[in-house]
Amino acid sequence: MGKRRVVRSGLMMPINSKRFVAASWTRNADSLDYDLEDSVPQAQKAYARSIVRETLPIAKLGGARVSVRINCATPEPDLEASVWPPLEMISHTKTESPDQIRHIDALITRLERQRGVRPGAVEINAMIETAQGIAHCYEIAASSPRIRHFSGGGGYDMSLDLGVEMFVGFDQFFYGKGECELAARALGLEPGISVFMPDVSGSVMDSEATYARAVANRKAGGRSGGGLHPNVVEPQNRGLTPPPEEVEEARQVLAFFRELDATGGAQGALDGKTVDRYEAARAEELLEWAAACAEKDSYKARMREQTLAHQKSEQSNPQAP
Amino acid sequence: MEEIVRRSILLVSVADQEAIASCWRHGADAVVLDLGDEVPETAKPQARAQVREATSTARRGGAEVFVRINRELAHADLEASAWPGLTGIALPSPQVAADVRDAAEILAAMEQQHGIPVGSLQLFLLLGTAKGVWNVRELIYASPRVTSVALDGTQLCRTLGVLPRADFDPFPYAAGRLVIECTAARVQPVGISHPVSLVPRLLSAEEIHGLAERGRNMGFKGAICPHPSWVEPCNRAFTPTLEQVEFYREVRRLFGEGVARGSASVPMNGRMLDVPVDERAKKMITLWERCQRRDGEKATALQSHSG
């Protein structure tokens, strides 16, 4: 693959909400996640399915990764409706067994073949939102090569299953989150990191708190985020991107270590801090990540400009096909 | 199966006659009559002789009654305790599935011999060893009789050589594992927050309430009460409050309106209401109703015996 996936921010919305969907590509989110599950009322599910295919390209107007969140009770019709180009990921909710994932993997494989989607292009996000899911998280995470990122064990569904309140001032989900992270790391998947920070408001649009959380997550090795409100997109993009001073520091560390290595040394001190191969590897990863973030940002900007230019020319020349 | 309401589980030594005589008056959802650690070795035969009588005393307030047995003396203890009126037994420190199956086998035999409906006696597991905590899943699935599993922090400290300290909880992983595995298997996780999970102490009702509430937010559904003064605050902590019930009713109302308008994503004071939030509201309201019902049953039983 080589190229690193950059999903610092996400915006999840009910796919049947025309207003949210129409504006979604202007929000600068790294990922746009169109929901067929809990934010869509039961009576609207069929309608929601019927518009997935025409909705997916909207995400690409702003260069976002595009995903669909499906219902664990109805994977067949949901996937029939969703696996079309340019779909990049399916989120499977309330995953409780590896068989559920193997089942949707097979369905996706067939649909990719039939519909001209590059084989393996559609990633699976196996969401862990129940105690049963946590109890089987390792087998679930290992159940498909389409799973590249793995996290879970917290959130509203989890609080429902455990009967705990959401905002209690301590980390009531630490065991489940820990199990999922451990499974991800043991299998070499990208883990989700969510450092616990007390939250009493439960607001989904508090940009300052979101920024602080994103920075803390990045420092703990986190690289990804998501959200429900446009207000939290920018703070996550910013918080999960290494700031220039850290990039510069990483450059110095790497240059220092390379020189050290070339002269047969294994460990030295730079500005009073020990530099060894672990520090060097960390610096290298940070530079790689910063470069990937910059690339994603310029890609999104380019796509947005293209779209705007296109819309403008259509407006001035309404006769054009 | 409807979830059980077992918020306060009062532990009373069968050898303590005064405590036994009054154990039904405290409003406990369940009483555990102890034949185990709290009864000295020499007093055990006499305690056994009294346990059947103690069971009917304990039931007067409408409580479920369990007997904590000695695992090594299971047969004699069960011979003495398994009579109609008993809800089940509390099994200390099971470590492997066979420990649970052995107990279940004796229970089945007693049901036959003592005229108890077959399969009705329950098992309440008390985890006090690392091995038991690690194997919790196989312990739960070893018998359909298992309905509650508690983390016995005091015993864990003893078996692991941990010095109990007030400023540091040594068992957050064990508690997390127990809660997740019990919830996954649909049995009841029982416990309370550090520090009283390690060293039971007499505290004010408000302090106990706070720690039990924290336990509830860790995922526990009830707590073992080593003293009658814990019962009331534990009952309260594991019951949704009226404010919560009102809040959840409001959630359901707003969400219902949203769905009627065609949206299942409804804003409420900066929060977003969707299906799981509504489901949770429904679940909490149902739990509150079940707690009310249980309190009603106990009040009726208490009244009929206080005349």
Report if residue B1 sits inside a domain: no
> Are both B277 and B166 inside the same structural domain?
no
- Which chain A residues touch B184 with a CB distance below 8 Å? 130-132, 134-135
DSSP A249-309: HHHHHHHHHHHHHHTT-S-EEETTEEE-HHHHHHHHHHHHHHHHHHHHHHHHHHHHHHHHH
Q: How many CA atoms lie within 13 A of A120 on its CB side?
A: 4
Q: What percent of chain B has pLDDT over 70?
A: 99
3-state helix, strand, coil in chain A (%, to 5): 50, 10, 35
CA distance B11 to A21: 58
Q: Provide the residue ranges of all domains of chain A, joining segments of one domain with +.
A: 10-239, 244-316
Domain housing B30: 8-237
Nearest to A202 among B183, B219, B271 (CB): B271
The minimum CA-CA distance between B288 and chain A, rounded to whole Å, is: 12
Cβ of residue A161 closer than 8 Å to a chain B Cβ: yes
- Which of A48-62, B180-194, B268-282 comes out lowest in average pLDDT? B268-282
Contact A205 B270 (CB under 8 A): yes
> Are both B140 and B283 inside the same structural domain?
no
Question: Residue A38 burial by CB count (10 A; 0-12/13-18/19+): exposed, middle or buried?
Answer: buried
- Which chain A residues touch B283 with a CB distance below 8 Å? 160, 163
Nearest to A164 among B175, B217, B275 (CB): B217
> Are both B150 and B295 inside the same structural domain?
no
Alpha-carbon dihedral sign for residues B31, B34, B38, B43: positive
- Place A318 in a pLDDT band, splitting at 50, 70 and 90: low
* Strands (DSSP E) found in chain A: 10-14, 31-35, 65-70, 89-92, 123-126, 149-150, 190-191, 268-270, 273-275
Give tens-digit pLDDT for B22-50.
Answer: 999 999 999 999 999 889 999 999 999 99
Last residue of a domain, one of B217, B237, B257: B237
pLDDT value at A204 more than 80: no
Q: Are B75 and B43 in contact (CB under 8 A)?
A: no
CATH of A10-239, one of 3.90.870.30, 3.40.50.1260, 1.20.1260.10, 3.20.20.60: 3.20.20.60
CA distance A54 to A82: 10
Best residue in A39, A42, A93 for a mutation probing chain B (most B CBs within 10 Å): A39
Nearest to B221 among A134, A161, A163 (CB): A163
Give tens-digit pLDDT for B149-163.
Answer: 999 999 999 999 999
Higher pLDDT, B262 or B94: B94
Question: Running DSSP on this structure, what letter comes out for residue A38?
Answer: T
Nearest to B181 among A135, A159, A178 (CB): A135
Cβ of residue A137 closer than 8 Å to a chain B Cβ: no
Average pLDDT over residues A7-20: 95
pLDDT value at A320 more than 70: no
Q: How many domains is chain B partitioned into structurally?
A: 2
> Are both B99 and B216 inside the same structural domain?
yes
pLDDT value, residue B2: 66
Contact A135 B271 (CB under 8 A): no
> Are both B247 and B101 inside the same structural domain?
no
DSSP B125-172: EEE-SHHHHHTHHHHHHT-TTEEEEEE-HHHHHHHHTPPPBTTB-S-H
> Are both B53 and B119 inside the same structural domain?
yes
Nearest to B218 among A132, A164, A205 (CB): A164
Contact B262 A44 (CB under 8 A): yes
Cβ of residue A13 closer than 8 Å to a chain B Cβ: yes
- Place A1 in a pLDDT band, splitting at 50, 70 and 90: very low
Cβ of residue A205 closer than 8 Å to a chain B Cβ: yes
Average pLDDT over residues A11-40: 95
What ipTM was estimated for this complex? 0.88
Distance of CA B90 to the CA centre of its chain: 10
> Are both B249 and B204 inside the same structural domain?
no
Q: Could you say which residues from 239 to 298 on chain A have a Cβ atom under 8 Å away from some Cβ of chain B?
A: none
Report if residue B2 sits inside a domain: no
> Are both B28 and B123 inside the same structural domain?
yes
Average pLDDT over residues B100-120: 97
Best residue in A24, A33, A44, A172 for a mutation probing chain B (most B CBs within 10 Å): A172
Report if residue B145 sits inside a domain: yes
In chain A, how long is the greatest CA-to-CA distance? 70
Question: Residue B243 burial by CB count (10 A; 0-12/13-18/19+): exposed, middle or buried?
Answer: exposed
Last residue of a domain, one of B214, B237, B260: B237
Last residue of a domain, one of B195, B211, B237: B237
Give tens-digit pLDDT for A65-115.
Answer: 999 999 999 999 999 999 999 999 999 999 999 999 999 999 999 999 999
Give tens-digit pLDDT for B57-87.
Answer: 999 999 999 999 998 899 999 999 999 999 9
Q: What is the mean pLDDT of chain A?
A: 93
> Are both B106 and B229 inside the same structural domain?
yes
Alpha-carbon dihedral sign for residues B70, B75, B79, B82: positive
Q: What CATH number does the domain containing B154 carry?
A: 3.20.20.60
Distances from the Cα of A227 to the Cα of A94, A216, A235, angstroms: 18, 16, 11
3-state helix, strand, coil in chain B (%, to 5): 55, 15, 30
Give tens-digit pLDDT for A231-262.
Answer: 999 999 999 999 999 999 999 999 999 999 99
Q: Are A280 and A257 in contact (CB under 8 A)?
A: yes
What is residue A183's three-state secondary structure?
Answer: helix
Distances from the Cα of B157 to the Cα of A192, A250, A293, B160, angstroms: 33, 45, 48, 5
> Are both B119 and B141 inside the same structural domain?
yes
Contact B175 A43 (CB under 8 A): no
Nearest to A228 among B272, B280, B284 (CB): B272
> Are both B145 and B262 inside the same structural domain?
no
The minimum CA-CA distance between A86 and chain B, rounded to whole Å, is: 26
> How many residue contacts between A and B have a Cβ separation below 8 Å?
104
- Which chain B residues touch A176 with a CB distance below 8 Å? 176, 180
Q: Tokens 């799973």: give the residue.
A: A147
Contact A206 B183 (CB under 8 A): no
> Are both B122 and B258 inside the same structural domain?
no
Q: Are B228 and B21 in contact (CB under 8 A)?
A: no
What is residue A36's three-state secondary structure?
Answer: coil
Question: What's the one-letter identity of residue A102?
Answer: R
Question: Residue A120 burial by CB count (10 A; 0-12/13-18/19+): exposed, middle or buried?
Answer: exposed
Contact B219 A172 (CB under 8 A): yes
Report if residue B262 sits inside a domain: yes
Contact A161 B183 (CB under 8 A): yes
